Amino acid sequence: MSQSNGMTNLLWLQGASCGGCTMSILESGSSGWFDELRQFGINLLWHPSVSEETGEEAAEVLNSVREGRVPLDLLLLEGSVARGPNDSGRFNMLAGTGRSIYHWMLDLAPRADYVVAVGSCAAYGGVPAAGANPTDAVGLQFEGADAGGALGAGFRSRLGLPVINVAGCAPHPGWMMETILALTSKDLSATDLDTYGRPKFVANHLAHHGCSRNEFYEFKASAETMSERGCLMEHLGCKATQAVGDCNQRSWNGGGSCTKGGYACIACTSPGFEDAQNFLETAKLAGIPVGLPTDMPKAWFVALAALSKSATPRRVRLNATADHVVVPPGRTTAKRTP
Amino acid sequence: MTRITIGPFNRVEGDLEVRLDVESGRVQRAEVTAPLYRGFEQILEGRPPLDALVLAPRICGICSVSQSVAAAAALRHAMGTEAAPNGLLATNIAHAAENAADHLTHFYIFFMPDFAREAYASQDWYQETRERFAATRGSAARDALPARARLLETMGIIAGKWPHSLAFQPGGATRAIELGERVRLLSIVTSFRTFLERTVFADTLENMLSLSTADELDRWRAGRSGDFAHFLRLADSLALSELGKGPGVLMSYGAYQGADCGLFPRGIVGPDMVVEPLPLSQISEDVSHAWMRDCSSDPAHSNTVPDPDKAGAYSWCKAPRLSGQPVEVGAIARQTVAGQALIADLVAPSGTNVRNRVIARLIETARIALAMEQWTRALRLSEPFCAPSQEMPDGAYVGLVEAARGSLGHWVAVRGGKIERYQIIAPTTWNFSPRDSLGVAGPLEQALVGTDVGEAGARSVAVQHVVRSFDPCMVCTAH
Ligand code: SF4
Ligand code: SF4
């Protein structure tokens, strides 16, 4: 890895982003993200939200990388690449430089040892690419689920890797830092990425794993309206059985997760999640949810659901449609009522 | 006359370019450009209305709860329902946590590092300031970031995660808080109070809020440690109360919701310091200098259609006006409209400026920390947190809230169960507005005029102070 003074040079830019990925990573590190970076020998060359260099000094940092005067280990982009209008990139100019982020990325990406797309916008296009996609927004190496994007499907960074997609909207600060650190220590190789370029240490799990509502899921004891405690899959749109992420196995903001927060997983780690509609309602066909777990035959699912529903303990059934625990766990002496 | 372009303008949220015409070292004219357009309003058209709760918050990752709460308020209005009171309290707590986190992030990460720049190397306060506030290296960041992360644990309990949560619904909030969680919330709020009292103010919040005049603030400051007192000394040394004067009219939509929890009132206030009712119907948007096609100036009836080649345009930001005038929004407007004694005493003689904006933000932080404590105690744990959603009849609806940076409005028109139009006017849209069709400059454009840039030109730190004193959020601005 090209290093200056033994440090890893990291450059973080923002394209058509909301800044949320940055806001999320600022929660990383017990003594703050800046300290954490230093502890691992990472030199933040420039970051638009936090760096001292501004205006022409900042432009000079970018030019020094573009012209190869300063080696670049990690290039991170947060936000989608707005290619419009007409491939000019003018919907997203990098202020003061007269160049669009699109063109800056085309120049900078080949200079970097590794290129990381931070968040679903940079990975696949994300919310700016929703609907009619007014700005022709794409990800760095994907356009939705299709390989391509701003850099093209064939792009490889200097050390031979495709763009590493830390998907999520916003991604967990841990996903971002663990990816950065695994790259810094050269621990992450092409085989550690799934077919959508996501690190497998995140993508080998489902958001459903470890959900606090798993007991309700087992019995198909479902919440019917918002703020009830039951499983959110049958009526309230939960896609966590199809969406990758260890969301429910690690804590968000000191103990949360979407489903713990009382609302459905909207599959924000998946390409194209933004084009779904009615996010908190389950799409159904003949009363059966359309989006069943991908690796389970539908007939089995339906049969098991019917069976488990008939075996639902009273406690689970009643708690599912309450916003507080109405029946606490405990030995029941009464006969189960079906 | 020389024209200078400043960008990338960093340590703000999002993308910003500033162009200045300078003569004899003074700014004569300023043009403010929002160089990023994403098209959220276009993306929302034709969608089911509740989808706004997923998409609209993603306008901004720094005030996503504000965006959620504005969207939820507009949709609640469309449903004609009442939210569960607990849901509004929980929303207030989370919203206050976001706003307080924003004020902290602004002070420590975006704003103060400018005083640690080389340009001030000759000042007697430089060494101390550099050690404390240097961007990414100063000791203050090591204190502030963990305090911010701890405060945002509020979100883990109420909102599942931050940024971008779906917990804020027209009917309230999506999860009921249990007793243990209430205690955890109180302990988070207490940690935050401790951080404010030890590190920011070096005094109790009650003492801070009892200061009611500029003189009292001066006496309080003498010999005091803490980052706020440090800022006040810098502000004096650099005459920041004479820098970056705003346009004179201040507006607040009123902040935090619920029968007895509205904390800061709605209103406008001019140089005479008399608070007047806000004429909501007088809000308009002008696109004469925006890369946007002409449309109705009434946000309830307008669309957003980009026109990138439009002559005379220089920003993706539209120009909002109240009764035809540019107005300033933000903590300083909120606290002046609310009649906060100290802020009113500072604003009365000198209006809005770099110093007063920063003071207002920190005083507001103390106020909302106390409010968070009260709201948390006021939750009635056995009662519902969310009322059911209802059908949304055709019509035009509005949701108005205060984000950290000021007044935020979502205007939604529903037809046949779909969003027909969606218009957003964000705080920085007001503050960083371009000129209107009469050639009247936006608030920042006015505030920059007269700034002494001396020999430094584009490298002038004074310009950086003026711009950052507004705590601009550019991703919200053009959205
Ligand atoms: S991925 Fe989500 S959080 Fe990150 S920039 Fe995009 S919208 Fe914001
Ligand atoms: S709510 Fe979603 S993540 Fe939780 S158990 Fe049900 S399907 Fe799984």
Q: How far is A170 from chain B (nearest CA, A)?
A: 7
DSSP label at residue A336 = P
Count how many Cα atoms sit within 13 Å of the Cα of residue B431 in the half-sphere of its side chain: 37
Q: Which residues of A are annotated as a binding site for [4Fe-4S] cluster?
A: 18, 21, 121, 169, 208, 211, 231, 238
Mutate to test the pocket of ligand 1, among A76, A127, A142 (most ligand atoms within 8 A of CB): A127
What is the rounded end-to-end Cα distance, in angstroms, of chain B? 33
pLDDT digits (tens, 9 = 90+) for A80-114: 999 999 999 999 999 999 999 999 999 999 999 99
Q: Do A266 and B54 touch (CB under 8 A)?
A: yes
* Phi–psi pair at A10, nearest 5 degrees: -120, 125
Atom of ligand 1 nearest to the CA of B58: 7
In a domain, A334, yes or no: no
List all residues 6 or more positions away from A163 whose beta carbon is below 8 Å from its beta carbon: A115, A116, A117, A123, A139, A140, A141, A149, A151, A155, A157, A197
Q: Do B166 and A264 touch (CB under 8 A)?
A: yes
**B-chain residue closest to A25, CA distance:** B149
**A-chain residue closest to B117, CA distance:** A52
At A1 the pLDDT is: 40
Q: Cβ–Cβ contacts within 10 Å for residue A330, how many? A: 7
Q: Do B8 and A94 touch (CB under 8 A)?
A: yes
Residue A76 Cβ inside 6 Å of ligand 1? The answer reads no
- Edge-to-edge strands of the sheet including B275-276? B250-252, B267-269, B275-276
At B188 the pLDDT is: 98
Q: Cβ–Cβ contacts within 10 Å for residue B130, how many? A: 18
Separation of alpha carbons A66 and A70, rounded Å:
8
Atom of ligand 1 nearest to the CA of A123: 1
- DSSP per position, A22-72: HHHHTT-STT-HHHHHHHTTEEEEE-TTT-S--HHHHHHHHHHHHTTSS-E
Q: Who among A97, A170, A260 is closest to B164 (CB)?
A: A170
If asked whether residues A173 and A309 sit together in one domain, one would say no
- The answer on pLDDT for A333 being more than 80 is no
At B131 the pLDDT is: 98
Please choose, from the candidates A172, A218, A241, A234, the residue with its C-alpha nearest in 3D space to the C-alpha of residue A312: A218
Lowest-confidence segment of A10-14, A207-211, B256-260, B340-344 by average pLDDT: B256-260
If asked whether residues A125 and A185 sit together in one domain, one would say yes
Point out the ligand nearest to the CA of residue A175. Answer: 1
In a domain, A330, yes or no: no
If asked whether residues A220 and A184 sit together in one domain, one would say no
If asked whether residues A196 and A271 sit together in one domain, one would say no
At A298 the pLDDT is: 84
If asked whether residues A167 and A229 sit together in one domain, one would say no
Residue whose token pair is 């705590």: B471
Point out the ligand nearest to the CA of residue A167. Answer: 1
Separation of alpha carbons B410 and B476, rounded Å:
12
- Residues from chain B that touch A319, judged by Cβ atoms under 8 A, are none
- Residues from chain A that touch B162, judged by Cβ atoms under 8 A, are 23-24, 252-253
Q: Peptide bond before A170: cis, by omega within 30 degrees of 0? A: yes
Structural domains of chain B, with CATH? 2-477 (1.10.645.10)
Point out the ligand nearest to the CA of residue A121. Answer: 1
If asked whether residues A15 and A147 sit together in one domain, one would say yes
In a domain, A141, yes or no: yes
Separation of alpha carbons A129 and A338, rounded Å:
48
Query: Number of helices and strands (H, E) in chain A?
Result: 10, 13
At B205 the pLDDT is: 98
Lowest-confidence segment of A4-8, B25-29, B357-361 by average pLDDT: A4-8
DSSP label at residue A14 = E
Q: Is B476 annotated as a binding residue?
A: yes
- The answer on pLDDT for B19 being more than 90 is yes
With beta carbons less than 8 A apart as the criterion, state whether B444 and B395 touch. Answer: no
DSSP label at residue A6 = T
Residue B28: Cβ-neighbour burial (10 angstroms; 0-12, 13-18, 19+): middle
CA of A227 to the centre of ligand 2 (A): 14
Last residue of a domain, one of A175, A202, A229: A202
At A3 the pLDDT is: 43
Q: Do B10 and A26 touch (CB under 8 A)?
A: no
Residue B450 Cβ inside 6 Å of ligand 1? The answer reads no
- The answer on pLDDT for B261 being more than 60 is no
Nearest CA to ligand 1 atom 6: A121
Q: Who among B136, B167, B389 is closest to A44 (CB)?
A: B136
With beta carbons less than 8 A apart as the criterion, state whether B208 and B221 touch. Answer: no
Mutate to test the pocket of ligand 2, among A224, A227, A232, A260 (most ligand atoms within 8 A of CB): A232
**A-chain residue closest to B39, CA distance:** A134
Residue whose token pair is 């920003």: B315
At A4 the pLDDT is: 52
Chain B within 8 Å of A23 (Cβ-Cβ)?
A: yes
Residue A291's pLDDT band (boundaries 50, 70, 90)? confident
Q: In the beta sheet, which residues pair with residue B421?
A: B413
If asked whether residues A141 and A165 sit together in one domain, one would say yes
| A–B CB contacts, 8 A cutoff, strictly below | 286
Q: Do B142 and A169 touch (CB under 8 A)?
A: no
Nearest CA to ligand 1 atom 7: B58
The SS3 assignment for B54 reads helix
What is the rounded end-to-end Cα distance, in angstroms, of chain A? 64
- What's the token pair of residue B107? 């002070």
In a domain, A333, yes or no: no
CATH code of A219's domain: 4.10.480.10
Helices B354-378 + B85-105 axis angle, to 10 = 150
DSSP label at residue B37 = -
Q: Who among A23, A35, A324 is closest to B61 (CB)?
A: A23
The SS3 assignment for B300 reads coil
- The answer on pLDDT for B246 being more than 90 is yes
Residue whose token pair is 């919200």: B476
Atom of ligand 2 nearest to the CA of A236: 1
- The answer on pLDDT for B306 being more than 90 is yes
- The answer on pLDDT for A2 being more than 70 is no
- Residues from chain A that touch B134, judged by Cβ atoms under 8 A, are 52
If asked whether residues A78 and A32 sit together in one domain, one would say yes
Last residue of a domain, one of A202, A223, A251: A202
Instruction: Summarize the confidence of residues B147-162 as an average pLDDT.
Output: 98
In a domain, A337, yes or no: no
With beta carbons less than 8 A apart as the criterion, state whether A162 and A141 touch. Answer: yes
Atom of ligand 1 nearest to the CA of A24: 3
With beta carbons less than 8 A apart as the criterion, state whether B75 and B411 touch. Answer: no
At B334 the pLDDT is: 98
Whether pTM > 0.80 for this model: the answer is yes
Point out the ligand nearest to the CA of residue B14. Answer: 1
If asked whether residues A172 and A218 sit together in one domain, one would say no
List all residues 6 or more positions away from B124 whose beta carbon is below 8 Å from its beta carbon: none
CA A43 to chain CA mean position, Å: 24
- What's the token pair of residue B174? 């999506």
At A5 the pLDDT is: 65
The SS3 assignment for B21 reads strand
Separation of alpha carbons B328 and B270, rounded Å:
10
In a domain, A328, yes or no: no
- DSSP per position, B218-259: HHHHTT--SHHHHHHHHHHHTTGGGSS---S-EEE--BS-ST
In a domain, A174, yes or no: yes
List all residues 6 or more positions away from B165 whose beta carbon is below 8 Å from its beta carbon: A258, A261, A263, B57, B64, B65, B68, B94, B155, B159
Q: Do B9 and A95 touch (CB under 8 A)?
A: yes
Please choose, from the candidates B21, B41, B40, B44, the residue with its C-alpha nearest in 3D space to the C-alpha of residue B31: B21
Q: How far is B249 from chain A (nearest CA, A)?
A: 29
ipTM of the complex: 0.96
Q: Do B8 and A96 touch (CB under 8 A)?
A: yes
Q: Do B8 and A252 touch (CB under 8 A)?
A: no
Q: Cβ–Cβ contacts within 10 Å for residue A281, how many? A: 14
Which ranges in B247-406 belong to alpha helices (H)?
A: 331-337, 341-350, 354-378
Q: In the beta sheet, which residues pair with residue A76?
A: A12, A116
If asked whether residues A218 and A234 sit together in one domain, one would say yes
- What's the token pair of residue A136? 């022709």
Separation of alpha carbons A236 and A233, rounded Å:
6
Separation of alpha carbons B223 and B237, rounded Å:
15
With beta carbons less than 8 A apart as the criterion, state whether B400 and B409 touch. Answer: yes
> Secondary structure of A131-184 in the HEC alphabet?
CCCCCCEECCCEECCEECCCCCCCCCCCCCCCCEEECCCCCCHHHHHHHHHHHH
If asked whether residues A193 and A217 sit together in one domain, one would say no
Nearest CA to ligand 2 atom 6: A231
With beta carbons less than 8 A apart as the criterion, state whether A192 and A186 touch. Answer: no
Instruction: Summarize the confidence of residues A16-24 as an average pLDDT.
Output: 98
User: Rounded mean pLDDT of chain B?
Assistant: 97
- Residues from chain A that touch B403, judged by Cβ atoms under 8 A, are none
Strand ranges in B121-173 using DSSP code E only, listed in sequence order: 168-169, 172-173
In chain A, the number of structural domains is: 2
A129, amino acid identity: A
With beta carbons less than 8 A apart as the criterion, state whether B410 and B71 touch. Answer: yes
Atom of ligand 1 nearest to the CA of A170: 3
**B-chain residue closest to A44, CA distance:** B136
Ligand 2: residues with CB < 6 A are A 207-208, 211, 213-214, 217, 231-233, 238, 240-241, 259, 265
CA of B61 to the centre of ligand 1 (A): 7
Q: Do B148 and A264 touch (CB under 8 A)?
A: no
Please choose, from the candidates B60, B80, B257, B50, the residue with its C-alpha nearest in 3D space to the C-alpha of residue B166: B50
- What's the token pair of residue A137? 């927004």
Separation of alpha carbons B37 and A216, rounded Å:
43
Please choose, from the candidates A96, A140, A89, the residue with its C-alpha nearest in 3D space to the C-alpha of residue A119: A140
Q: Who among A22, A55, A251 is closest to B7 (CB)?
A: A55
Last residue of a domain, one of A178, A202, A226: A202
Separation of alpha carbons A275 and B274, rounded Å:
48
Separation of alpha carbons B253 and A194, rounded Å:
47
Point out the ligand nearest to the CA of residue A18. Answer: 1
User: Rounded mean pLDDT of chain A?
Assistant: 94
CATH code of A83's domain: 3.40.50.700
- What's the token pair of residue A326? 């109405």
- The answer on pLDDT for B25 being more than 80 is yes
Instruction: Summarize the confidence of residues A48-61 as an average pLDDT.
Output: 97
A146-147 vs A164-166, strand pairing mode: unpaired
With beta carbons less than 8 A apart as the criterion, state whether B419 and B105 touch. Answer: no
> Secondary structure of B378-432 in the HEC alphabet?
HCCCCCCCECCCCCCCCEEEEEEEEECCEEEEEEEEEECCEEEEEEEECHHHHHC
Separation of alpha carbons B120 and B24, rounded Å:
22
Atom of ligand 1 nearest to the CA of A120: 1
If asked whether residues A157 and A211 sit together in one domain, one would say no
In a domain, A332, yes or no: no
Cα Rg of chain B, angstroms? 22
CA of B67 to the centre of ligand 1 (A): 14
- The answer on pLDDT for B111 being more than 90 is yes
pLDDT digits (tens, 9 = 90+) for B391-431: 999 999 999 999 999 999 999 999 999 999 999 999 999 99
At A284 the pLDDT is: 87
At A332 the pLDDT is: 61
A146, amino acid identity: D
With beta carbons less than 8 A apart as the criterion, state whether B64 and B165 touch. Answer: yes
Range of the domain at A128: 8-202
Chain B within 8 Å of A338 (Cβ-Cβ)?
A: no
- What's the token pair of residue B334? 């909120």
